[in-house]
Amino acid sequence: MVGKFSRGFLTLSLVAGLGGCNSASQGLDLSSNAAPANAQPVQAVVQAYCPQVVMRDQDAVYRSYARGGQDNPDKLLYQASFNDATRQCTANETTMTINLIAQGRVVQGPAGTPGSVTLPVLVEVVDGDNVLYSQKVAFPVKIPVGGTQFIFSKADVQIPNNAGGATRFTRVRLGFDTGPAKKPRRS
C-alpha cells in the first residue's frame, strides 16, 4: 500500500509540475513589446570577413649560402621555412587591423654555425592583383646547433575597411623576400 501511495503521489507531483511549465507568470506581461525599465540597450556586433593567410611555394622557403656557393648544398648556411600561420582581425568604420602569427623553422646547413641570423619576411595583403599593404620585416632568429623553431608575429597590418570587411578575394601573403626593404603601403 505504501508503494501505491508513493507512485500515485509522484505521478500527481510530476503532472502538476509539468502543468506549471506551460503557464505564464502572473508578474510578467508577455503581450507587451516594451522593454523593462532597467534593461540595457543591445549593442550591434559588427562581423567582417577576415582575409585568409596564404604562403606561396616560391616564398615559403629561404636559403642562405656561403659566399660564392649559391645553390650548392655543401655551402648552405641555413634554411628557413614557414609551416603554419593564422590571423585575427579587428575593424572600425575605416580600418581593418590584422594580427598575423606564423610558426617557422630554421635549420643549420653543412656550412653553417650556431648564431644569430636575420630573416627577410615579407607580409603583403592583396585583393586580386591590387596590393593593399606590403612590408618587409627584418626578423632576428638565434640558431642553436642543428636548428630551432620560431614564432613570427606582426600585429599592425592595416588595410582600408570596406562595408562588411575585406572582399572574399583579399588574402594575406606571407613569405620570405630578398629584395630591398619596402615601406608599408596603404591605399
Tell me which DSSP letter residue 177 carries.
-
Contact present, 100 and 109 (Cβ < 8 Å):
no
Contact 104, 172 (CB under 8 A): no
Average pLDDT, the chain: 78
DSSP 66-91: -TT-TT-GGGEEEEEEEEEEEEEEEE
Mean pLDDT for the stretch of residues 24-53: 53
pLDDT in tens, 141-157: 999 998 999 999 999 99
State how far the Cα of 182 lies from the Cα of 161, in Å rounded to an integer. Answer: 22
Check whether 48 has a pLDDT greater than 70.
no
Average pLDDT over residues 31-35: 46
pLDDT for 70-100, tens place per residue? 889 999 999 999 999 999 999 888 899 999 9
At residue 169, does pLDDT exceed 60? yes
Which residue from 135, 152, 143 is spatially nearest to 117, judged by alpha carbons? 143
More confident residue, 48 or 115: 115
